[in-house]
Amino acid sequence: MPVRVQTQDFDVGAEIAGLRAGDARVGAVASFIGTVRDINDGSGVSEMELEHYPGMTEKSLEDIVAQAKARWNIFEALVIHRIGPLKPLDQIVLVAVTSAHRGEAFAACEFIMDYLKTQAPFWKKETTPQGARWVDARVSDDKALEKWQGGPQGKP
């Protein structure tokens, strides 16, 4: 299953090994791991709660992976996103992509993350010394999306 939403942690090494197992076409694996920081917008963060929209989340991630596969010559893509309570240092998300050459793998991995940040229905609530607060969406995330629009940049 190329898309997983789960409360438990993941083992990056084992996941990547599984993604490229037995596939000698693969010459490149690009991966991104998002982790919980202990500070955000000037406040200390002691805990973070991840909420999502069951059903829509999986569909939107599968759709993003399908778009990446349509756009670049990649073999496999994996997205794992955790939900529930997390602490600083915890892993939140893994995106891993296999391809023959690095260019496609790097581009597709970044594309999937940029779309995930703005399209997949996850929400973060962080606990700070001032109390719990919902994390605001960032304008920079919408900006990151713009570079993928209006043409198949990065497509070989």
Partner 1 sequence: MNIQLRYFASVREKLGTSQESLAVPAHVQTIGDLRAHLRERGGPWAETLADGRSLRMAYNQQMTDASARLSEGCEVAFFPPVTGG
Q: Which is nearer to partner 1, 26 or 49 (CB)?
A: 49
**What whole-number distance in Å separates Cα of residue 88 and Cα of residue 18?**
27
Q: How far is the CB of 24 from partner 1 (least distance, A)?
A: 32
Q: Name the residue nearer to partner 1 (CB basis): 105 or 120.
A: 120
Strands (E), 111-152: 122-128, 131-134
Nearer to partner 1, 33 or 70 (CB): 33
Q: Give me the least distance between CB of 124 and partner 1, in Å please.
A: 5
Give min distance, CB of 98 to partner 1, in A: 21
Interface residues toward partner 1, by CB under 8 A: 34, 50-53, 55-56, 59-60, 81, 92-93, 113, 116-125, 134-137
d(CA 153, CA 1): 28
Coil/strand/helix, residue 10: coil
45 and 38 in contact (C-beta within 8 Å)?
Answer: yes
